[in-house]
Amino acid sequence: MSTTDLSSKHPEYSIQWDNWVQMRDAYQGERQVKSKRTIYLPATSGQIADGMQQSTQPGWLAYEAYLKRARFPNFVREAVQTAIGMMHSQPPKIKLPKELENIRSSKGETMPQLLRRINQEQLLTGRIGLLADIATKTSDPLPYIASYSAERLINWDDGTVNGLVPQVLNFVVLDESEYERSNLSFGWQIKEKYRVLILGTVDENEPQGAYKFGVFEEKSPAFEENKLTAASIRGKTLSKIPFVIINASDLVSDTDEPPLMDLGNLCMTIYRGEADYRQNLFMQGQDTLVIVGGAQDESETIRTGAGSRIEVPMGGDAKYIGVESDGLSEQRESLENDRKIAGSMGAQSLDTVSRERESGTSLNIRIAARTADLNQIALTGAAGLQQILRVCAEWVGANPEEVQVEPNLEFGDHSLTGQNMVEMQTARNLGYPISARSLHQVAVDRGLTKLTFEEEEKRAKEEEKGPFKRSESGDRAPQQDPGNGPSDKKSGDPTKKETK
């Protein structure tokens, strides 16, 4: 490998690669996991002894049956989807200057949609990169945000200015290899290419100078520094690389294990245990017939079951022998325990629905304990998106401080009920220092109304004059039609006698 090989990987990238692949496979589910065959489900010693090199060998055929009987649990997918649903049960609050109101991702996503995908990558691999880029074929370019998964961020470097801290990202290599359709046919072929982002020059580790970038194919020479281009919007360049690395809990370039790595490992353990358990169950029904004292012709086929007959000479015997079932209960109990642990680590632990007889306080404590990591992930993802959006604002000449990204941090079931409303209003009537506007804001936050406080007041006054006038007791009730209501004393029911 040459020193200018664009496919070179950062040492930390190589360390985390296997973890990222395993988490991707676990998220995609059983079909993907089984496609990796012996990587996640090793062959038994008997299968290896019977031959695993060719598809016609007994060992290969036995492994195929062993693989098909196995079942892979989907705890990783359930955990990620449940967590994302909780984190985005309420929309994030994203404020942008007017110059960036129409900004989108490279896939056409709005910023809330992009934040959702950022959080998913944080949960799954614990890492994602965001690049602010511009379309070259436009007269008035607006930045867009391109996202790169952990596997595509293959190389990077941090440098210091004159040995001082903090470190500044001054070198990034992104793998942009993809399938491209040939212009002359309907076929597709992989095209290997890499995007290089640099501050200053390649040979210096001093992150100073203008930001430059280039896209290169893996050919000889793969990289030429004089082909780097200084990105600019209306003549304005950047003195920083517009790239942000978002991990599960920080925005530094160092890698870390995926936050659900333990759950992914446990799923693989359950998968292998399921394979062994189901293999033993299968073997329970595959007893072997043994004939003692029989002289069987090699060309003779012995049949068993209804309608069959086996002739045994005098003094001989015939019996079935099979695998003992003594260990099945222990295997089943072990799998059940592993599933309970996986459930407590995954989606079941994130369930916010109150269990029967579980008090509100107990429920909130349980949710808070289970969602501490989600809090950090949500805050980190929002901080990373805010940082790259502020770079975009600076690039187009807007005020970066106008960019604000606040994630939703209410992960529990906070729907507003009639009882809640009565309790809050009662507390206010008894002197608790909270305004009507604050109570209205609670209703807005909980999705009860989308109207402003003034609009709600106006409608309430209109209703006072309409058919839903408030009664003396404070309840709203339809006004009764005088013509259809009960008669007064003088015009009472003539069938009833007046009592004195």
**Three-state DSSP string of the chain:** CCCCCCCCCCHHHHHHHHHHHHHHHHHHCHHHHHHCHHHCCCCCHHHHHCCCCCCCCHHHHHHHHHHHHCCCCCHHHHHHHHHHHHHCCCCCEEECCHHHCCCCECCCCCHHHHHHHHHHHHHHCCEEEEEEECCCCCCCCCCEEEEEECCCEEEEEEEEECCEEEEEEEEEEEECCEEEECCCCCCEEEECEEEEEEECCCCCCCCCCCEEEEEEECCCCCCCHHHCEECCECCECCCCCCEEEEECCCCCCCCCCCCCHHHHHHHHHHHHHHHHHHHHHHHHCCCEEEEECCCCCCCCCCCCCCCCCCCCCCCCEEEEECCCCCCHHHHHHHHHHHHHHHHHHCHHHHCCCCCCCCCHHHHHHHHHHHCHHHHHHHHHHHHHHHHHHHHHHHHCCCCHHHCEEECCCCCCCCCCCHHHHHHHHHHHHCCCCCCHHHHHHHHHHCCCCCCCHHHHHHHHHHHHHCCCCECCCCCECCCCCCCCCCCCCCCCCCCCCCCC
Point out which residues pair with 404 in neighbouring strands.
Answer: 95
Which pLDDT score is estimated for 348?
Answer: 53
Q: How far apart are CA 348 and CA 118, in angstroms?
A: 23
Would you give the distance in Å from CA 357 to the centre of its chain?
31
- Cα first-last separation, the chain: 115
Residue 310 lies in a domain: no
Spatial distance between the Cα atoms of 23 and 29, rounded to a whole number of angstroms:
10
| Residue 407 within any structural domain of the chain | no
The residues pairing with 131 across neighbouring beta strands, listed in sequence order, are: 146, 243
- At 223 the pLDDT is 74
207 with 168: CB under 8 angstroms?
Answer: yes
- Whether 429 is covered by a domain: the verdict is yes
Please say whether the beta carbons of 291 and 282 come within 8 A: no
Alpha-carbon distance values, 290 to 190, 307, 310, 316, 325 (Å): 58, 19, 11, 11, 19
Which pLDDT does position 353 carry in this prediction? 46
pLDDT at 329: 73
For residue range 412-432, list pLDDT tens digits in order.
655 667 787 888 889 888 888
- Bridge partner list, 286: none
For residues 115 and 385, the answer to whether their CB atoms sit within 8 Å is yes
Question: What is the number of structural domains in the chain?
Answer: 2
Q: Are 237 and 199 within 8 A, CB to CB?
A: no
Backbone phi, psi, residue 184, to 5°: -100, 0
Q: Is 357 left (phi over 0), alpha (psi -120 to 50) or beta?
A: left
Do 34 and 87 meet the contact criterion of CB atoms below 8 Å apart? no
**Contact criterion met (CB below 8 Å) for 59 and 67:** no
Does some domain include residue 228? no
Examine residue 331 and state whether it is found in any structural domain, yes or no. Answer: yes
Among residues 262, 349, 271, the alpha carbon closest in space to that of 82 is found at: 349
Neighbours of 389 (CB within 10 A): 29
Q: What is the pLDDT of residue 487?
A: 47
What pairs with residue 406 in β-bridges?
93
Residue 484 lies in a domain: no
Q: Is residue 435 part of a domain?
A: yes
Spatial distance between the Cα atoms of 13 and 22, rounded to a whole number of angstroms: 14
Domain housing 448 = 418-465
Neighbours of 401 (CB within 10 A): 9
Q: Cα–Cα distance between 152 and 13 in angstroms, integer? A: 10
The string of pLDDT tens digits covering residues 354-384 is 444 444 444 444 445 455 588 899 999 999 9
Is residue 460, in this structure, part of any structural domain at all?
yes
pLDDT of residue 325: 59
Radius of gyration of the chain (CA): 34
Instruction: Give the model's pLDDT for residue 13.
Output: 93
Q: What is the per-residue pLDDT for 443?
A: 82
What pLDDT is stored for residue 323 in this prediction? 60
Give yes or no for a contact between 279 and 69, defined as CB atoms under 8 angstroms apart. Answer: yes
Residue 279: the pLDDT is 77
Q: How far is CA 29 from CA 33, 39, 264, in A?
A: 6, 15, 11
Q: Could you tell me which of 245, 152, 171 has the C-alpha nearest to residue 212?
A: 171
* pTM, 2 dp: 0.72
Tokens, residue 143: 């930045």
Residues of the chain with pLDDT under 70: 1-4, 136-140, 160-166, 201-208, 218-222, 283-289, 293-300, 302-309, 311, 315, 320-328, 344-372, 412-416, 466-500
